[in-house]
């Protein structure tokens, strides 16, 4: 596994792989790798001989009030884990490599992205789409793997590829969870004992809704009331939103159907957590 930190070395290594006739798979991350990230690398590796992993904590997607400085950075452990999962090339740029000067052009989504995370984190998705566009142009992968865990992000990247004709195939990978159902996240390491236990209620609320839907209830108000009641059993958990949305625009639906997503975001202490579940998919098994 080769580690590169500048654009010329990245382009050179990718060009060599391409000249050998290899397919290029790409997994962008912000590091602090966990089993969810590793599942994306393995998924890329199953489809491509050259798997590029990027590790870059992108300042553009953090608001000044957010946790950029606190975001975990565990490069040595990340590189060791990436190697065991089949990454062949790791791009670890510094901020000065990705943003060498004042930027005049950004990739900004339309107003439709101003809901959910877009409403709570203004400018976040412009930061994500700008860095993902830069990374796509640097790596020029055949396939890029993203997680369903960040559903709105995956939806907007799908829109980016479609609307700007980016020549890449997207692969959206399932959510990897802890045994109690908590979706793995780099931020989970900030949860202390009590908060960690309470955080399980996010996935429990999704399961409550999905189980009631499976028994034939499509009425969203009834479904959300059930999920909300579950969330409220933990007083340290403060929901930002719990909703059922269509899979294309993530607009709230009134009557739930197979293929719609239940989405939840909540704060547990100072840590913000996201989760979602596609109605009709097998229920996450909770211990
Ligand atoms: P991040 O490092 O948080 O930017 O995440 C990098 C990629 O890993 C994104 O495509 C995420 O959606 C994905 N990811 C994060 N958590 C999980 C998880 N629990 N299961 C699967 N993929 C995940």
Which two three-digit tokens encode residue 254?
A: 């009134």
Cα-to-chain-centroid distance, residue 44: 15
Taking residues 87-110, what's their average pLDDT?
97
Structure letter (DSSP) for residue 143: E
- 11/245 Cα distance (integer angstroms): 39
User: Taking the complete model, does pTM exceed 0.85, yes or no?
Assistant: yes
Residue nearest to atom 7 of ligand 1 (CA): 29
Q: Which helix (H) or strand (E) holds 147?
A: strand 143-147
Where do we find the tokens 């829109």? Answer: 159
Cβ neighbors of 120 (< 8 A, separation 6 or more) are: 240, 265
Place 284 in a pLDDT band, splitting at 50, 70 and 90: confident
pLDDT > 90? residue 44 = yes
Is residue 183 lining ligand 1, measured as CB closer than 6 Å? yes
Cα 156 from Cα 257, distance rounded (Å): 22
- Distance of CA 150 from the midpoint of ligand 1 (Å): 7
Of how many residues is the chain composed? 287
Closest CA to 263 of 280, 246, 248, 281: 246
Question: Does the pLDDT of residue 231 top 70, yes or no?
Answer: yes
H/E stretch holding 52: strand 50-55
pLDDT of res. 283: 85
Residue nearest to atom 10 of ligand 1 (CA): 146
- First vs last Cα of the chain: how many Å apart? 37
Check residue 199 and give its pLDDT: 98
pLDDT in tens, 161-201: 999 999 999 999 999 999 999 999 999 999 999 999 999 99
Q: Whose CA is nearest to atom 17 of ligand 1?
A: 36
Ligand 1 center–CA 146 separation, angstroms:
7
Residue 236 is encoded by which pair of tokens? 């340290």
Whether pLDDT at 287 is above 70: no
Q: Give the residue whose CA is nearest to atom 11 of ligand 1.
A: 147
Q: Which atom of ligand 1 is nearest to the CA of 32?
A: 2
Q: What pLDDT is attached to residue 112? A: 86
The residues that bridge with 243 in the sheet, in sequence order, are 263
**Average pLDDT value over all residues in the chain:** 97
Report percent pLDDT > 90 for the chain. Answer: 97
* 147 CA → ligand 1 middle, Å: 5
Residues 156, 173: Cα–Cα separation, whole Å: 15
Mean of the pLDDT values across residues 239-264? 98
Q: Computed from CA positions of residues 107, 58, 244, 41, in that sequence, does the dihedral angle turn out positive or negative?
A: positive
What percentage of the chain reaches a pLDDT higher than 70? 99
Whether 36 lines ligand 1, by a CB cut-off of 6 Å, is yes
Burial bucket for residue 51 (CB in 10 Å: 0-12, 13-18, 19+): buried
- Give the three-state DSSP class for 115: coil
Tens of pLDDT along 109-138? 998 899 999 999 999 999 999 999 999 999
The model's confidence at residue 285, banded by pLDDT at 50, 70 and 90, is confident
Q: Where are the alpha helices (DSSP H) in the chain?
A: 7-19, 35-47, 75-85, 95-98, 117-120, 124-139, 151-163, 193-214, 220-231
List, by residue number, the catalytic residues: 37
Fill in the DSSP letter of residue 63: -
How much is the CA Rg of the chain, to the nearest whole Å?
A: 19
Total Cβ atoms within 10 A of residue 270: 11
Looking at residue 3, its pLDDT comes to 98
């Amino acid at each position: 596994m080769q580690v590169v930190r500048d654009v010329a070395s990245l382009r050179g290594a990718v060009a060599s792989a391409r000249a050998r006739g290899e397919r290029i798979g790409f997994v962008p991350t912000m590091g602090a790798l966990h089993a969810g990230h590793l599942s994306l690398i393995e998924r890329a590796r199953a489809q491509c001989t050259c798997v590029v992993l990027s590790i870059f904590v992108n300042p553009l997607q953090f608001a000044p009030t957010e946790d950029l400085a606190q975001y975990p950075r565990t490069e040595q452990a990340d590189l060791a884990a990436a190697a065991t999962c089949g990454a062949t090339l790791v791009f670890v740029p510094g901020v000065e490599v990705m943003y060498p000067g004042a930027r005049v052009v950004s990739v900004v989504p339309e107003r439709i992205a101003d809901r959910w995370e877009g409403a709570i984190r203004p400018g976040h998705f412009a930061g994500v789409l700008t860095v993902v566009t830069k990374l796509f142009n640097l790596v020029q992968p055949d396939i890029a793997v993203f997680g369903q865990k960040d559903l709105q992000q995956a939806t907007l990247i799908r829109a980016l590829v479609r609307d700007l004709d980016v020549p890449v195939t997207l692969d959206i990978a399932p959510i990897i969870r802890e045994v109690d159902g908590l979706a793995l996240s780099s931020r989970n390491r900030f949860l202390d004992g009590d908060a960690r236990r309470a955080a399980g209620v996010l996935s429990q609320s999704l399961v409550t809704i999905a189980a009631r839907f499976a028994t034939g209830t499509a009425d969203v108000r009834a479904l959300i009331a059930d999920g909300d009641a579950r969330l409220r059993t933990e007083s340290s958990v403060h929901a930002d939103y719990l909703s059922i949305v269509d899979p294309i625009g993530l607009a709230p639906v009134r009557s739930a159907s197979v293929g719609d997503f239940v989405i939840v975001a909540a704060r547990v202490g100072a840590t913000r957590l996201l989760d979602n579940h596609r109605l009709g998919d097998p229920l996450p098994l909770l211990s």
